[in-house]
Structure 1
Amino acid sequence: MRDAELVVRGGTVVEAGWSAPADVFVAGGVVTALAEPGTPAPRAATEVDASGLLVMPGGVDPHCHVGFTSGDFTSLDDYPRCTTAAVFGGTTTIVDFAIPRPGQSPAEAAYAQRARAAGGLCDSALHACVVEWDETVPDQLAALVADGLPTVKMFTTYRGETMADEDTVLRTMRTLRDLGGMVVIHCEADHIVGDAQSRCAAAGGIGAEHMAATRPELAETASVAEVLAIAESLRAPVYFVHQSTPEAVELVAAARRRGVSAFTESVAHHLVLDDRLYGGATPERFVCCPPLRSRATVDALGRHLFTGEITTVGSDHCCYDVAQKELRRDDVRVMPNGLPGVETRLPVIFSEYVMGAGLPVTRFVELTAANPARTNGLYPRKGTLMPGADADIAVWDPAVQWRVTAGALHMATDYTPYEGMTLTGRPRTVLVGGRVVVHDGVLADPAPRGRHLPAGRISLTPALGRRGG
């Protein structure tokens, strides 16, 4: 192997569809070969010992909010801090959102956010966003897709801020369909949410401890059904973010069986945490949209990791701190919604589902790396270790046990929703573009070489949403 500059030796390579002992050869920042264990390499090649460990493609987080402003609150991280946390958790590519502020066009928001992407330790991509339709939007979308931003976030809630009406959703979806793009959508029926919040407020229960009642499960399923009908009528692809109920997931799966290119993302906190946390001493730390659900709902949702009905697992990372969370804990309508999670996504899901519930590690890679890369137009550059892919590698210790504490993490906040949990498994060594960036819990290379990645046009089939697709 004359072209090898680095070799990861002795581990078990895990791809979305298979796993086997193999050595990974790297040169020029990409994987050049998967070879039989012990295959000779040039003397000058650096060797990374992966004996007894798993060698997986670095995680692709399809759902991160970096420096995100909503209402009166802005999350606390930037690209250097978010991507530092990401690589410590085994994630080597993040996908951020460009949400327009009032008076800002989709293109203006996207290019402004893209300009902030410099300085990261790993690569990033970007979702654009449409809130209101006007005659300029088709040309903006065409330019954005041509410039490598084919996925567009939309919201069916947050009236007066980011909510798009049904006509705007339809027009955007139709335009993107013809351009090779895709709508990425947050589904909660705003009228149902608004009514629930009004009733809770009238009864004196609108604080953080009442979060679950203010955004009922029915709001999610009702909105998912409506958006699926739009997508099916247009024969357009659609990707649903942070689905938190099995009913919502099953609606998407049923549409996929009818031939709709519809895909489900769930996020780590909806798959692990439940609404009993709103009854604790610090309920504000767990306020997110959709809210945490009942334990029965969480367990039923998690089963769809095994059925194949969930396509991807993201973090929905929003890096607020305790002070921001506490400031308006009296009213969930105005307090910041969202949880920090870019660093803990992979370890939590690996521990709870691979080690704790028997999820195949190949399925773990599919959910957290391969499928996020596919649905964002980044595959096969990301989400795989096949020759030609970027050499983004997580060398994973599946047996190590460790306790989660905010002080030992790297996110720009002073808390984690997983505080005190004992997890099994975490990355020992993380490579980005063939460089060892993290080793044994230490930042080995702080150089900010992260790139903004232009994504390819979206070409997905319903088969992607089924296990092994």
Structure 2
Amino acid sequence: MSSKPDLVIANGIIVNSFGRQHAHVVVRDGRIEQLIEATEPAPDAARTIDANGRLVIPGGVDGHCHVAQVTGRFRTLDDYRTTSTAALWGGTTTIIDFGIPRDAQETPLAAVLHKKELARDSRCDVALHGSVVSWDETVPWQLEQLAAEGVRSVKMYTTNRGTTMADGDTILRVMREMVRLDGLTYIHAEHDPIISDCTQQHADDGRIGIEHLHQTRPELAEEISVKETLAMAEYTKAPVYFVHQSTPGAVDLVAEARSRGQEAYSETCPHYLTLDDSVYGSAFPEWYACCPPMRSAETVAALKDRLAAGAIHTIASDHSCYDLSQKRERTDDIRAMPHGLPGVETRMPVTFTAMMDSASGGEGRVEDFVEVFAAGPARINAVPGKGTIAAGFDADLVIFDPAEERTVDGGALHMGTDFSPFEGKTLSGWPAVVVSAGRVVLDDAGFHDPGAAGRFVARNGFREHQAATADSTPAVPATL
């Protein structure tokens, strides 16, 4: 091919989850055409960006985002344009949202198709999870239709009775269907009877305000739910993925199941690695209203140990874009306020800092960060073309200097809300250049809105994808 490539990222330290090399990345038609050793001259291109020895990693894959989410009487304030823009500002080039039925009349299929239509305005690539709340005879057909659409995972909640909670029979039946359809079962694991009883006891005692949130949802509730769900997954032979695990005990249960041969995965979120339950005694406890809640400092330290040991497979934002006016409507009663935190834009620096800061026990490798930020979410969620810098993969790239530090200013972020739970924290790992599908969307000149250029990404079958990628790690030179 004689024409010049569209873009060359020259002289970068290319970091994948499996190693690194000093190379030029050649991009054509939205994909990586080749990597050329930096000892060779960079080819001429329509545009060349000199990484100048900085780190170049795959664009992030955030496997757990809620966009324009309706829960009860609350709706998050964002849309796909806002959240995808914030994702790109934060080095994430693919988000996976949820089609969760907004009420009892909306079917799982309709919920996904609605989100797919909204996603036409996205600036970055989008994939979707389905969700089932209650079983009926149409669910198997609906799940077949979702699989045909490229939606190969279904989320279910073991809590939130009366809204999104699925009972045990529904979870078991959906797991069977996901095995049949080569899909992945997503689980929000908190034991509803324990949480309901504990919350009611606190309400009876007049301790139901936001400052008591962490006391109403004990660690035991999470771990018992994980244990029960793993038993159902073992029985049905269903691959299972646990969202936002907040305790080392929950992670250990998944690790033990994996040691017995189960296909089970642990996700956590940046806030569970960096914030503890002392925030509920702060001046603004409503900034931290999420479920599960923040845990004790000892639990946070132990969770970071599990991350360093490789027992946590992905880190996702669980992005939910409420603002402070919504949060403050009912701080007197946690049962009546919306739960969820904005975080798609800060996932990269908060995670990177937590993993790399030796003062906090991180001492991680950048390769391990790439695994939980991009490669692992892409592989486990069977998202083709993502999470790796290699020939044939999508040209989703991030350049950054790990030594550069910035302080979080919630008002200066781009998530469509007026706060960040990480306000005032000094973090490293912010993106300097972001390339999405071959387009430079962020550089020294600022953000370049690509318009509604995001693509819907149809995902592969779970086991099909794992088998195809198991032995396909690209060869790289020795680690620098």
Could you tell me which residue of structure 1 aligns to residue 380 of structure 2?
375
- Kept in 2, the 8 Å contact 1:88–1:441? The answer is no
Of the candidates 320, 323, 335, which is equivalent to residue 322 of structure 2? 320
In structure 1, C-alpha distance between the alignment counterparts of 2:325 and 2:40, rounded to whole Å: 54
User: How far is the alpha carbon of 1:72 from its aligned partner?
Assistant: 1.5
User: How far is the alpha carbon of 1:448 from its aligned partner?
Assistant: 2.2
* 1:147-166 correspondence to structure 2 within 5 Å: 147-166=149-168
Of the candidates 417, 420, 424, which is equivalent to residue 420 of structure 1? 424
Could you tell me which residue of structure 1 aligns to residue 389 of structure 2?
385
In structure 2, C-alpha distance between the alignment counterparts of 1:407 and 1:225, rounded to whole Å: 40
In structure 2, C-alpha distance between the alignment counterparts of 1:73 and 1:105, rounded to whole Å: 19
Cα distance per residue 1:53-89 (max 9 Å; x no partner) = 1100000000000011112111111000001100111
Could you tell me which residue of structure 1 aligns to residue 36 of structure 2?
35
Aligned length: 464
Of the candidates 119, 127, 130, which is equivalent to residue 128 of structure 1? 130
- Kept in 1, the 8 Å contact 2:10–2:42? The answer is no
User: How far is the alpha carbon of 1:12 from its aligned partner?
Assistant: 0.4
Aligned residue for 1:77, secondary structure, equals coil
In structure 1, C-alpha distance between the alignment counterparts of 2:466 and 2:125, rounded to whole Å: 26
Of the candidates 398, 402, 409, which is equivalent to residue 402 of structure 2? 398
Q: Which moved more, 1:89-98 or 1:99-108?
A: 99-108
Of the candidates 334, 337, 343, which is equivalent to residue 336 of structure 2? 334
AA of the residue aligned to 2:237: R
In structure 1, C-alpha distance between the alignment counterparts of 2:53 and 2:329, rounded to whole Å: 47
User: How far is the alpha carbon of 1:42 from its aligned partner?
Assistant: 4.6
Could you tell me which residue of structure 1 aligns to residue 478 of structure 2?
none
Q: What's the TM-score once normalised by structure 1's chain length? A: 0.96
Could you tell me which residue of structure 2 aligns to residue 142 of structure 1?
144
Could you tell me which residue of structure 2 aligns to residue 430 of structure 1?
434
Distance change >3 Å, CA 38–CA 47, structure 1 → 2: farther
Could you tell me which residue of structure 2 aligns to residue 172 of structure 1?
174
Cα distance per residue 1:358-378 (max 9 Å; x no partner) = 111001000010110112111
In structure 2, C-alpha distance between the alignment counterparts of 1:423 and 1:53, rounded to whole Å: 17
- Kept in 2, the 8 Å contact 1:57–1:369? The answer is yes
AA of the residue aligned to 1:343: E
Distance change >3 Å, CA 444–CA 384, structure 1 → 2: same
User: How far is the alpha carbon of 1:273 from its aligned partner?
Assistant: 0.8
Aligned residue for 1:427, secondary structure, equals coil
* 1:12-411 correspondence to structure 2 within 5 Å: 12-37=13-38, 39-101=40-102, 102-356=104-358, 357-379=362-384, 381-411=385-415
User: How far is the alpha carbon of 1:41 from its aligned partner?
Assistant: 4.7
- Kept in 2, the 8 Å contact 1:261–1:461? The answer is no
1:455 aligns with 2:459: yes
Cα distance per residue 1:259-281 (max 9 Å; x no partner) = 10000001111111111000011
Q: Which moved more, 1:347-356 or 1:268-277?
A: 347-356
In structure 2, C-alpha distance between the alignment counterparts of 1:425 and 1:115, rounded to whole Å: 33
User: How far is the alpha carbon of 1:44 from its aligned partner?
Assistant: 4.0
Aligned residue for 1:84, secondary structure, equals helix
Unaligned runs of 5+ in 2: 474-480
In structure 1, C-alpha distance between the alignment counterparts of 2:122 and 2:134, rounded to whole Å: 31
Distance change >3 Å, CA 113–CA 46, structure 1 → 2: same
Aligned residue for 1:11, secondary structure, equals strand
- Kept in 2, the 8 Å contact 1:277–1:286? The answer is yes
Q: What's the TM-score once normalised by structure 2's chain length? A: 0.94
TM-align CA RMSD: 1.6
User: How far is the alpha carbon of 1:229 from its aligned partner?
Assistant: 0.1
Could you tell me which residue of structure 2 aligns to residue 6 of structure 1?
7
Could you tell me which residue of structure 1 aligns to residue 477 of structure 2?
none
In structure 2, C-alpha distance between the alignment counterparts of 1:275 and 1:441, rounded to whole Å: 39
Identity of aligned pairs, percent?
50
AA of the residue aligned to 1:426: W
In structure 2, C-alpha distance between the alignment counterparts of 1:159 and 1:67, rounded to whole Å: 21
Aligned residue for 1:65, secondary structure, equals coil
In structure 2, C-alpha distance between the alignment counterparts of 1:444 and 1:139, rounded to whole Å: 42
In structure 2, C-alpha distance between the alignment counterparts of 1:27 and 1:342, rounded to whole Å: 28
- Kept in 2, the 8 Å contact 1:437–1:446? The answer is yes
Unaligned runs of 5+ in 1: none
Aligned residue for 2:294, secondary structure, equals coil
Aligned residue for 1:67, secondary structure, equals coil
